Amino acid sequence: MTKPNFVSLPGRLRPPPRGIRSVGGADPARLLRVSVFVRRRQPLDLSGLASTMLPQNRIYFSHLELATAHGGDPKDLAAVDEYVRSCGLKVIESNFVRRRMVVEGKVAQLEGAFDVGIVRWEHDRGVSHGCTGPVRVPATLAGVVTGVFGLDDRPVAVSHLRRLKKKKAAAPSFAGYTGEQVARFYDFPTGVDGTGQVIGIIELGGGFRAADLSTYFTEIGVPLPAVTAVAVGTGTNDPTTAEGADGEVMLDIEVAGAVAPGAKIVVYFAAGATDQDFLDVFSYAVHDTTNNPGVLSISWGGPESAADASFQTQFDEILQSAAALGITVTAASGDSGAADEPPSDWDGKVHVDFPASSPNVLACGATSIQVSGTTVTAESIWNEDVTDMKDDSFGASGGGISEVFPVPAYQAGLSLPPNASTKGTGRGVPDVAGDGDPATGYRVRVDGQEFPVGGTSAVAPLWAGLVALLNQKLGHRAGLLNALLYANPSALQQITTGNNEVGTAHLGYVARPGWNACSGLGRPVGTKVLAVLQG
């Protein structure tokens, strides 16, 4: 076969991380599966759904309508199919709804098909494989193929959960609040419990034990929600120990379930945290016609600099599909303050977390609360012991200015600060906040153990539970909430104390009246948010 004229895919070049060394080429006989994404049949216009139009006046797509008008073109998939087979690759799956084809082949075959070198890297976490240059496709497929994922197995996301470590709890016997208690602190709507709603939770590892959930909800006096595990690809509900990813899974379920126990909770498990895993599990959840979630919670993410633009663009396109279907997506903004990297990896610059930086998610930061009875008496930005950036046990609310996404229309009227490192402009993160300090955090049960945890991981499912209550009350999906919240900031309680600065130079952002890059517009006043959505 004559070698085709190749062109590079836009944004598909991920530089090697700091502190690793090449240990040679990948085994040419090793089998890999990759996901190939194709363009939409027609562009998707979200201008109406991203506006201040009330939910009851919005007309969302059905899954069939979205797939038919804005899914992949079968002709495009057929062209990709013909090409990859000519390269000796095996087609495992082809799906025009998700605009995705899964192909399998040996490293040598994939290198030839995408004109790329695949090498091995050694680092302190083990050995990874990845590309040495941009991923390329034949010129005949330029503009047709929008991304190829699976050639790089480095993780792009981590859990944004923090356990209580150095900082003292609010009281010596403090075991953590339940989601139901925080819902009362924040005046969530009463008379609804999420009945008829489906909350989807994205997990990149870990698992849950049904016995733990039964014990937990019995102990806190809340009805046990219906929880279903969905395996995506080779991902499974695989609980191990309380020290692993199980803590994230249980936190997400227990917070969302305590807020909206009448909702069905569907937990989507990916095989890992690579760009391919993250895209595949999220795409599956958005297009899941069996469970049809109305809100999706994501407590995993990583610095925008940790992945390439192609991954972020493709993920954002799936987020756009979620918005078109009326699915609200809540995402944790990160637990490492303005750095968005742990001290051992920090490059000395500020970053925002992705996917929280997408303009099509409700990005969730974290606060620390003081409570008397059922009343919050004081609330500030969560930030603990981050001055020297030498201890990975620190934590602070992630936030800042995106280097990838421009300022969205709903933030156009704000006085956004410049990026503290680049001095550039961009999408401001987060949008909203909620209790996330481990010292005033949430009681969880994980693999037979109970302890308080926090992090922005807790805030995403808290808001997801609120959205389920709102959807039940409205009788209609709330969808993309951002524009309505920015147009009605009085529905949230501003947080004007604290900062998410890091390092001895105090790099980052300070809380201020109005929107800030630590807590966004503030934490919810649930009944006021409902009133806004009701018009």
Active site positions, annotated = 248, 252, 457
Query: Is the Cβ–Cβ distance between 19 and 124 less than 8 Å?
Result: yes
Q: 526-534 vs 456-474: helix axis angle to the nearest 10?
A: 40
Question: Within 13 Å of residue 421, how many CA atoms lie on the same side as its CB?
Answer: 15
Q: What is the DSSP letter of 27?
A: P
Query: Is the Cβ–Cβ distance between 243 and 163 less than 8 Å?
Result: no
Residues facing 148 on adjacent strands:
36
DSSP line for 194-206: -TT-EEEEEESS-
Structure tokens at 277: 């895993």
- Give φ, ψ of 66 to 5 degrees: -65, -45
Tell me the C-alpha distance between 263 and 186, whole Å: 19
Structure tokens at 491: 């529905």
State the first-to-last Cα distance of the chain, in angstroms, to the nearest integer: 63
Residues facing 169 on adjacent strands:
none
DSSP line for 240-301: --TTTTHHHHHHHHHHHHHH-TTSEEEEEE-S-SBHHHHHHHHHHHHT-TTT--SEEEE-EE
3-state secondary structure of 80: helix
Number of C-beta neighbours around residue 55 at 10 A: 23
Tell me the C-alpha distance between 139 and 85, whole Å: 17
Helix (H) or strand (E) holding 534: helix 526-534
Number of C-beta neighbours around residue 23 at 10 A: 12
**Cis? peptide before 74, omega within 30° of 0:** no
Which of 310, 386, 314 has its CA nearest to residue 350?
A: 386
Which of 117, 119, 80, 120 has its CA nearest to residue 102?
A: 80
Query: Is the Cβ–Cβ distance between 17 and 131 less than 8 Å?
Result: no
Query: Is the Cβ–Cβ distance between 210 and 227 less than 8 Å?
Result: yes
Query: Is the Cβ–Cβ distance between 6 and 141 less than 8 Å?
Result: no
